[in-house]
Amino acid sequence: MISFIICLALLIGGYFVYGKVVENTFAPDDRETPAVRINDGVDYVVMPQWKLFLVQLLNIAGLGPIFGAMQGALWGPVVFLWITFGTIFAGGVHDYFSGMLSERNDGASISEVCGIYLGNVMKNVMRVFSVVLLVMVGTVFAVGPAGLIVTLLGNKGVTGVLANPEVWLWIILAYYFVATFISIDKIIGRIYPLFGICLIVMAVGVIVGIFTNPNYTIPEIWTHFTNMHPAGKPIWSFMFITVACGAISGFHSTQSPLMARCMKSEKQGHFVFYGAMVAEGVIALIWAAAGCSIYKITGGLSTGLNDILANGQSAAIYDVCIKTMGGVGVALAMIGVIVCPITSGDTAFRSARLVLADWFKVDQNKMQKRLMLCVPLLAVGAFVGHLDYAIVWRYFSWTNQTLAMIVLWTASMYLFREKKNYWITAVPATFMSAVSMTYFFCAEECLGLSTKVAYPVGIILAAVFLGIFIRATKKPMKA
């Protein structure tokens, strides 16, 4: 429990200390923001800072820092270190720069931002990466809540049409269709902040339930500093890919432009982008602690956690909430884990629409043109929603962290051009390059090579990427 409290304190302190270092490196000023200058009443709408923070948190969170953190708990309390230091030195940096670089470029989608600083080839790569990732995220965040709703209804004895996950999947997709093209302040700006509060309250309820139950003890890192995964999966780089949301997630860079288009001042970026990432890190830390403490530790983590995770997100989250909060608190918790992923899913499809709009220069002021992009996007989402969920999630994980890698290299090039400390982004970019490339070579869904081959190749490729960047910094800049 002491190591959990230390990690929690580090996360909070990281926001005030390292978050300020990141902000000072970027140096926000008083220039007119896109929300003020463009203000089209659809995607560019000024919103107050507290709403920006809660909407950003809701957009980037969903089931990611909950289910991903519980999966990470299979490795034991060592996952606390990745969540803590990943959030402070990688995730927060990634989210801040993805949001602020979008804001500096008229609220452009992250693919367009990458093109500005890394060239047209990378722009096109990012366009494809972004759309594929966003459709997968939107689909994952539809299938998960649909299953959870059915689980809840089944526990209440409900049968028939309402107990069919296929029905709820189509209901959620229908909602996505509406929320994707209407003005951002109609639904998202009005009610999503309330759901953001629910997400926070839910996490607080889980940790209070753990602290007040004498049967639950959060294991210490120093007494369990080993790989405790029941299947023996290596920590590098599987844990770093599995726990994305709550440490660092490329998906966040696709969401940050939504709030970058709604900021009244650049100085709101520290609280909105870095702050929301730290809040997500805290949520992930709590759920990882739940996975490590509720399911007893024997030689490695008992198969209890592994078994409950094998039953899917719905069963795992429901089990934790019941055990920590009982019948009274579980209602709020279930609302949180049903609504929060849905609200991330609709903004995923909304972001995909904006990426395509920027890509093909489709004006989004008119509803007909927004529908022109929404219809095919949701059709593809409906198709993906009927694929094997486990396979979709695995591909999402690697794509997600590869996107984060590219965004960090983009921020590094921006800082180089501005003659600022680019190591603040180049170091995590190199680290995430090693993570992503190693996983690509050794994961079963990718090349499936042995770790003896994947480890050195992944690290060498990360070093090559760093070398290419350093070489680029030695070239004279164009005027």
CATH number at 125 reads 1.20.1740.10
Whether residue 44 lies inside any domain: the answer is yes
pLDDT tens for the chain, 479 residues long, are: 899 999 999 999 999 999 999 999 999 999 999 999 999 888 999 999 999 999 999 888 877 788 889 999 999 999 999 999 999 999 999 999 999 999 999 999 999 999 999 999 989 988 988 888 788 778 777 877 887 788 778 877 888 888 888 898 889 888 888 887 788 877 877 888 888 888 888 899 999 999 999 989 999 999 889 898 888 889 999 999 999 989 999 989 999 999 999 999 999 999 999 999 999 999 999 999 999 998 865 555 455 787 777 776 667 777 888 888 887 666 766 666 677 778 778 888 888 888 999 998 888 888 888 888 888 888 888 887 776 655 666 677 788 899 999 999 999 999 999 999 999 999 999 999 999 999 999 988 788 899 999 999 999 999 999 999 999 998 776 54
- For 234: left if phi > 0, alpha if psi spans -120 to 50, otherwise beta; the answer is beta
Q: What is the DSSP letter of 68?
A: I
Whether residue 199 lies inside any domain: the answer is yes
Report the C-alpha gap between 438 and 460 in whole angstroms.
10
Q: What is the pLDDT of residue 479?
A: 47
Check if the beta carbon of residue 126 is closer than 8 Å to that of residue 114.
yes
Check if the beta carbon of residue 200 is closer than 8 Å to that of residue 283.
yes
Q: Which residues pair with 301 in a beta bridge?
A: 297
Whether residue 356 lies inside any domain: the answer is yes
Check if the beta carbon of residue 285 is closer than 8 Å to that of residue 11.
yes
**Cα→Cα distances 269→92, 117, 439, Å:** 11, 20, 32
Whether residue 314 lies inside any domain: the answer is yes
Check if the beta carbon of residue 43 is closer than 8 Å to that of residue 107.
yes
Whether residue 112 lies inside any domain: the answer is yes
Two tokens, residue 158 = 């409900």
Our count of domains for the chain comes to 1
Q: What is the pLDDT of residue 42?
A: 86
- For CA atoms 16, 90, 452, 468, the dihedral sign is negative
Whether residue 178 lies inside any domain: the answer is yes
- Tell me, yes or no, if the pTM score tops 0.75: yes
Whether residue 423 lies inside any domain: the answer is no
Query: For residue 314, how far is the Cα from the chain centroid?
Result: 19
Whether residue 226 lies inside any domain: the answer is yes
Check if the beta carbon of residue 71 is closer than 8 Å to that of residue 243.
yes
Helix, strand, or coil (residue 422):
coil
**Structural domain harbouring 223:** 2-393
Torsion of CA 156, 159, 162, 168, to 10 degrees: 80
